[in-house]
Structure 1
Amino acid sequence: MKLGVTKQQILAVAAAACMLPFAALAQDKPAAKPPADSASRWDIFLGYSYLAPHGTVEALQPNSGQTLPFSYQSVNWGAIGSGAYYFNRYIGAQAEVSVHKCGATQSDCGNNDTFILPAAGLIFRYPTSDITPFAHALVGAADIGGPDHEPMTWGPSLTVGGGMDYNTPLFNHHLAIRLFQADYQYMHADFGPVVYGGRANINAARLSAGIVLHVGEIYVPPVTYACSVNPSSVYPGEPITVSGTAEMLNPKKKVTYTWTGVNGISGSDATAKIDTTSLAPGSYTVHGNVSEGPKAGQSADCSANFTVKQFEPPTVSCSANPTTIKPGDSSTITATGVSPQNRPLTYSYSATAGSVSGTGNTATYSSAGAPAGSVTVTCTVTDDKGQTASATTPITIEQPYVAPPPTQSSLCSLTFDKDKKRPTRVDNEAKACLDDIALTLQSKSDASLSIVGESTADEKNPPKHHHRKNEQPEDFAAQRAVNAKDYLVTEKGIDASRITLYTGTTDGKTVEDYLVPSGATFNANGATQYTGDVKAQPRKPLAERHHAHKKAAETK
């Protein structure tokens, strides 16, 4: 029995199979333009197919009554069409129809080796921007005719295979070329116990190629991840918070966050902490990753920069109060230190002379042992990072007070020009002066007295007719000084060792008296210390002397 399957019928069957998904396509809204390597929602394939079946049928021959084996032969003419709907980028459902006819015309068919195979199943692919390898497993039916007058009979079929598509840029990446599709097919047919009947178990190899139309898009927007640090600039030890913001995550998948890049970072969610205590000053980058899991999913990375700043050194000002002191006195030193980062500060002090005591922001400068003049005090402040700052303040130490050397002072003077006859006698007026001198010497027990006797030129060189033969002029200056001392010693009780006698060069009948404090040296001013042996004259009233002369005259 011959079966009349024409080329037009084969094409119609393939076209009908290829049109299966278009009803669904009509309902899909065009999506936003995806990237070139996005996956299609539908793949529609139409192409040429070559079938190489291997199997035999034991057919009863009516003329001879014998049963003879008949084998299937390769079918060079065939068409194939399929439509695949993908649930996601990788997995979909596929419906496929292939038609293989023994020849282009009925006369070429011989024993009518014809195969029509509709099937459906699952398809798996791995789409990339250039090629898409795939594999599928289908279950279906096979309408088989021949190889020896067997009528077209339906039986089950299994198809397992795969192939590779090349994605062209044509039609905005919607047209691909199926470079090859290679399948293994198993088919079974039971032609029955009639003439030309029998069973067929066929193992076939099928090779196909053609074009693929990509319809619709499966575009899963990539996960985006951005991270930031706050604050972005810190000093060592100050904490930093790093935060990540992810978008386009699949809410059905578990999300894992990881943070790397610097020491001291801790956290396993979208927020982490950075301990900068151990970080040296400089610039750092922290890296974050978000991923969907535990199975394959999308992931994204982010990074953020931060800076660990060098600690700023402290500053200090230094002052002294008072700034001018006397030798041995002290001054208060005040240091005002400031740390820009409020680090703890310690204070220390030094001086070019003298000493400073104190460890706080105030100290005491002591000038003990320091010479007079300018002294520089240095105030130093140190923070807990070892950074220092210094400032100075001057202090002036005054010259020590040196009392002027003791000098002599003039006391009252004695005059001897009233008593013409006794020009060296200490009269009452002179006595009054000497009494005052005695009181002064008594109140200043460590002072001494210098008495300078003076005489006139006439007394020093009297006219010759006033001199007796071999008589020398009297030393009036010495006699006056001796008489004054004698009064102080005998009448006022002054220690004779405290009195020094001098004879001067001034022309006059006087005695000059000088108080010489302890430690002072008498400035004689031309006077000569007297060491002669002039005796003190008794201090007697002049009237007594006249009375004595009168008695002597009466006695005569």
Structure 2
Amino acid sequence: MNQNKLVVAIRANSSFIKAAVTIMIALSFALACTSTTAYAKKKRRVKYGQIEITTNPGGFPLTIDGRPEGSTSTTIRVIELAPGHHNLEILLPNGGRWVRDFDIEQGRKLCVNLNYHPKKYTVTRPPSLCPYPVNVSAPVSVSDGDLITFTSDNAYGGSGPLRYTWTVTPTEARIVSGAGTPTITVDSTGLGSQRVTATLLVDDGSGDPLCQQRAQASTNIIPRKPPVVECKPFDQFQSVAFDDEKARFDNLAIELQNAPDSQAYIIIYAGRTSRVGQADRLAKRTMDYLVTTRGIDASRITIVNGGYRDTDYFDIWICPPGAKRPEPSPSVQPGEVQPARERTRPRRPRRRADD
């Protein structure tokens, strides 16, 4: 009996245990589904909105809120944006811009489609006044250092002002006045033996190439002859006594010292009745005094035999570098000379007063 009760109890308990296990499995499944469902809902929660953009044609630069977002396309581009106010800008050809402000809502999508059709304008222009003749005039030649005047004239029939642009060659040529006007002045200094060319571009500002006219003219530059450098006369005197000559040579030495680049050029003439070789003797004595006594460099002194005059004569010149030397100017021809005879006997000594 007790055994049967135990079996019944066990059976009863077994049924309870089965029911309890079944309830726990169901509860666990329910809890698992609930957890999965909550996670799925959390995953599907949308924090952003979207904007869809297409343009025809594509390839236009795109910015949103000032940030570059690449280029548009003929196919849909989807861009996620935070909810709120935004700015869209599409850069069109020729500097045009398509700008819009819009609001994005969470979980909502905003679609933008832009078809670009540039406007075509027909501009009716009056008949062109171009081309028009332009001429530039200039002298055929000028001397080095002269100012050259280049003058232009044209037959432009328009009412607007013309623009004048001048260029000159060679580069050493310099426009001194008139730039931007129909007439210019050019300095030719230092351009001897060259050719100065002035080229003028005239433009009416319309942008029409036919209204940009060019003309030019040229002038030959004749070189100036270098100035003639001449010697200047310093002293002229008749040879009488060597002591008198020394004083004059002293003045010459001072002049040479004050002008270190100058040269002394001395022409010595023998007298009509002087002894043979008199000019050469005077030349040697003069050179010895200037070099030995006065310390003048011999290379700075030139002494020439000038021929004959009525008396022994000195003609002294000071010559700067490169100066042309003066020519002798004898007044007595060699056939007119009557040289003194050389003494054949020595002079008798003078008697003393007390003899």
TM-score, normalisation: structure 2: 0.43
TM-score after normalising by structure 1: 0.30
Larger helix share, 1 or 2: 2
Bigger Rg, structure 1 or 2: 1
- Structure ranking higher in strand proportion: 1
